[in-house]
């Protein structure tokens, strides 16, 4: 047995095992209304709540779920509150990409000793359903990773939250399954700093199936590298602006978010045509590429299962690599500041990120930037 252990390369030891994304917490100006949007438009179900009615005096939080995706929307009840400060600076946005671990103490110790800035030391939270241990570290901007250890907990979400009983009559599910990836925008020259952070502090690797050379062109004017944890359940592309003919879409984000932050969340479906049809019906606005994109689609990606006329009608994009193909579509920003947006993705073998669509996509983004006077 000793020989086996010795023969294993050291890199095989994952010092930060992560089971998956636990939840994504947004700090919002009005969580009650945001929750309605995510329920009625994106199909999430309200499953838990905390606020004044449950004995919490300074904030209200809504837990929304759709299959494996869990969102937490939090609003402060007073101006003198860290959540209010965050909203004043950034608008509504992602505060916490919370990661599900088996040992929040070890996750904290291993990352802080490798240079992570501590936000919350390992802390135990309890209620009648058991206990949850949490710890947090800082990442780019005002964003954090909280490590959630919930193996001794049987409640609906976290201690202190009350389950919402009965059917959610506002919710209109659209078939979203899990978070495929979450993208961070960082400042000029900062991409490799954060790539190194994820390598050194979190033990992530550059995702092997993504072309890591610069993808800046006349149109895209950004650079991106994808980081992934050991079991590849967590994928974090990191973008930085690049100089191009026009103002980078990343620069526009940084201007309006007042710094680095989460740019988009990609949510996976098993049936993108059905999901996007419903999202259209629910009033979600998507980026559109010119119809000419579909004239050459099949010659570019080969045979696909989906009818091209339906993809064209809905605005769904397709890309292929040596492992298969993938379908994707991007919403417009979901708030007035041009910051956070969503991607809907369906993978059919491909593990890439739609590089073949970048040009058409970035031209569509630039048309929107021009309408906002920010190009
Ligand atoms: Fe994406």
3-state SS of 146-182 is EEEECCCECCCCCCCCEECCCCCCCCCCCCEEEEEEE
The Å distance, Cα 184 to ligand 1 centre, comes to: 10
Domains of the chain: 20-163 (3.10.180.10), 176-372 (3.10.180.10)
Q: How far is the CA of 79 from the centre of ligand 1 (A)?
A: 34
Token duo for residue 141: 């901007």
pLDDT digit string, tens, across residues 14-48: 999 999 999 999 999 999 999 999 999 999 999 99
CB 134 within 8 A of CB 108: no
pLDDT value at position 218?
64
CA distance linking residue 189 with residue 130, whole number of Å: 45
Distance 155 CA to ligand 1 centre (A): 32
Ligand 1 midpoint to CA 343 (Å): 6
183 Cα–ligand 1 center, Å? 7
Q: How far is the CA of 131 from the centre of ligand 1 (A)?
A: 35
Contact indicator for 103, 16 with CB cutoff of 8 Å: no
Residue linked to tokens 């967590």: 234
The one-character DSSP state at 230 is T
Lowest mean pLDDT among 160-174, 177-191, 200-214, 260-274: 200-214
Q: Mind listing the pLDDT tens digit for each residue in 321-348?
A: 999 999 999 999 999 999 999 999 999 9
For residue 94, the model assigns a pLDDT of 98
> Is 70 in contact with 267 (CB distance < 8 Å)?
no
Centroid of chain to Cα 360: 22
DSSP 207: -
- Residue 232 alpha carbon to ligand 1 centre in Å: 15
Confidence tier at 215 by pLDDT (50, 70, 90):
low
Half-sphere exposure of 203 (CA within 13 A, CB side): 18
Q: Residue 89: is its pLDDT beyond 60? A: yes
Distance between Cα 265 and ligand 1 center (Å)? 7
């Amino acid at each position: 047995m000793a020989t086996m252990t010795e023969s294993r390369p050291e890199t095989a030891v994952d010092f930060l095992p992560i089971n998956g994304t636990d939840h994504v917490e947004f700090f919002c100006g009005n969580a009650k209304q945001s929750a309605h949007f995510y329920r009625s438009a994106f199909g999430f179900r309200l499953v838990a709540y905390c606020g004044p009615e449950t004995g919490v005096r300074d904030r209200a939080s809504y837990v929304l779920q759709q299959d494996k995706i869990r969102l937490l929307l939090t609003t402060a009840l007073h101006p003198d509150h860290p959540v209010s400060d965050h909203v004043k600076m950034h608008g509504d946005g992602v505060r916490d990409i919370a990661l599900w671990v088996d040992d929040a103490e070890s996750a904290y110790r291993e990352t802080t000793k490798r240079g992570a800035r501590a936000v919350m030391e390992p802390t135990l939270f309890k209620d009648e359903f058991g206990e949850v241990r949490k710890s947090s570290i800082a990442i780019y901007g005002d964003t954090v990773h909280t490590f959630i250890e919930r193996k001794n907990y049987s409640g609906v979400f976290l201690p202190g939250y009350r389950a919402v009983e009965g059917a959610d009559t506002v919710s209109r599910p659209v078939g979203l399954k899990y978070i495929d990836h979450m993208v961070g925008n960082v400042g000029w020259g900062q991409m490799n700093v954060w790539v190194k952070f994820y390598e050194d502090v979190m033990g992530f690797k550059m995702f092997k199936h993504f072309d890591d050379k610069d993808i800046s062109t006349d149109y895209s004017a950004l650079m991106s590298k994808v980081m992934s944890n050991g079991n590849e359940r967590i994928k974090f592309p990191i973008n930085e602006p690049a100089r191009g003919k026009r103002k980078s879409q990343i620069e526009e984000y940084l201007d309006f978010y007042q710094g680095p932050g989460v740019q988009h969340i990609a949510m996976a479906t098993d049936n993108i045509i059905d999901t996007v049809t419903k999202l259209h019906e629910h009033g979600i606005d998507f980026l559109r590429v010119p119809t000419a994109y579909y004239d050459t689609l099949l010659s570019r990606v080969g045979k696909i299962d989906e009818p091209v006329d339906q993809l064209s009608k809905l605005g769904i994009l397709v890309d292929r690599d040596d492992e298969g193909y993938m379908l994707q579509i991007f919403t417009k920003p979901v708030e007035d500041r041009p910051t956070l947006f969503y991607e809907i993705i369906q993978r059919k073998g491909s593990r890439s990120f739609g590089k073949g669509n970048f040009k058409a996509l970035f031209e569509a983004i630039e048309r929107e930037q021009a309408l906002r006077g920010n190009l």
